[in-house]
Amino acid sequence: MRILHTSDWHLGRSFHREDLLRAQAEFVDHLVETVRKERVGCVLVSGDVYDRALPAVDAVKLCDEALARLAEHARVVLIAGNHDSVHRLGFGSALMDEAGVHVRTSFAAVGEPVVVDGAAIYGIPYLEPELVREGWRLDERSHAAVLTEAMRRVRADLGARRGSGLRSVVLAHAFVTGGEASDSERDISVGGASYVPAGVFEGVDYVALGHLHGRQRMTDRVRYSGSPLAYSFSEERHVKGSWLIDLRDDGALGAEFVEAPVPRRVARIEGDIERLLTDSAFDAYEDHWLQITLTDARRPAGAMERLRARFPHALVLGFDPRGGERDGGGRSWSERVRGRSELDVAGDFVAEVTDGPASEAERGLLHEAFEACRRKEAMA
């Protein structure tokens, strides 16, 4: 049995206002070609198919095309992630079952597998503890509690099938203890109880995880595929792709990572503006999406415009002066503003971000804004 484990497509997502739909479509092309070339029997999509609960029309169209094309070559099992709408993603799931696309979004169906080529595949969608706890009569409000109960149901079904020779596969969308997060995942903590120990999944031949955007091997049989594209600059060193998994007849497991195409690399660079504009050490970054941090003691004028002349795909500009007075001579914020008017403090902010004192016109606008706030407060 050969499966392809992918997750966290986040269809419809942008990258600092850069449209990624074309790059996501290229990933779908790559996925379909991999399934065809490697003779994959089942494709697993472990949640966060869309980037938001109400996806854009173009994102829905791409998902529709992706599932139709994949279903021409293999069965498909996908689950809802924390970004997906359970009801919207699950619409038409009973009909899609007949076409070989199995969408699992309801906690009520946990423990009911899709059987594909001698493997029982259990979809555990993202389980919001507060929404599941009452239905499952759980005492504890945590992700570990709901996934423990979900796996109890999976093992109960497997036990009833004992002796059938079926292999077992679980899809889940969760934050497993020891996993490395990036800046692009949405926080799923519930009172600090977001982590799930990998031991919850013991006894299963393979666990296809989603949620974390970097590929990771928690154990030989518990893995994250990661997202197909970088969705934050913290992912600059990630290698994106999918896990190609062989469930062998002798119980062994083969795993190979299939790298996905890279539309444009992302990177973070820093330095003073003159070095960034002239040093050949930065030549390799000229075609990257960039987060640039300037270290000049004073903020350079027109910095982004000047930098984009060399780095046309610079997206984020930060300022972290080195050797200058960054913190008001070591004084606390309250000490630095004590005895000063709101207008003076706001004027300092204008001077900081424009590298020059506020003009009379700017101070006049600030004064009008403060007066408007006072009038609004007085009328409240």
Whether 215 and 239 have beta carbons less than 8 Å apart is answered as yes
According to the model, what pLDDT value does residue 349 have? 81
Can you give the residue ranges of every domain in the chain?
A: 2-259, 266-379
According to the model, what pLDDT value does residue 330 have? 52
According to the model, what pLDDT value does residue 331 have? 56
- Mean of per-residue pLDDT scores for the chain: 90
CA distances from 79 to 22, 55, 107, 110, 114 (A): 23, 16, 11, 11, 12
Instruction: Determine the Cα–Cα distance for residues 76 and 97; give it in Å rounded to an integer.
Output: 9
Beta pairing partners, 124: 172
CA-closest candidate to residue 303, choices 353, 233, 356: 353
- CATH code of 2-259, in short, is 3.60.21.10
Give every residue of the chain whose pLDDT is below 70, as ranges: 189-193, 323-339, 352, 355-356, 374-380
Q: Where are the beta strands (DSSP E) in the chain?
A: 2-6, 14-15, 18-19, 42-46, 75-79, 101-104, 114-116, 119-124, 167-173, 175-176, 195-196, 206-210, 216-219, 222-224, 241-247, 253-259, 266-271, 289-294, 314-319
According to the model, what pLDDT value does residue 165 have? 85
According to the model, what pLDDT value does residue 334 have? 55
CA distances from 106 to 84, 98, 173, 196 (A): 12, 18, 13, 20
According to the model, what pLDDT value does residue 335 have? 60
According to the model, what pLDDT value does residue 162 have? 82
According to the model, what pLDDT value does residue 101 have? 98
Instruction: Determine the Cα–Cα distance for residues 168 and 128; give it in Å rounded to an integer.
Output: 24
CA distances from 57 to 28, 54, 88 (A): 17, 9, 13
According to the model, what pLDDT value does residue 370 have? 79
According to the model, what pLDDT value does residue 191 have? 45
Instruction: Determine the Cα–Cα distance for residues 136 and 320; give it in Å rounded to an integer.
Output: 50
Question: pTM score > 0.85 for this model?
Answer: no
Whether 195 and 176 have beta carbons less than 8 Å apart is answered as yes
How many percent of the chain have pLDDT more than 90? 72
According to the model, what pLDDT value does residue 192 have? 43
User: What is the C-alpha end-to-end distance of the chain, expressed in Å?
Assistant: 68
Q: What 3-state class would DSSP assign to 373? A: helix
CA distances from 94 to 44, 50, 100, 109, 291 (A): 18, 20, 10, 12, 45
According to the model, what pLDDT value does residue 63 have? 98
Amino acid, res. 338: R
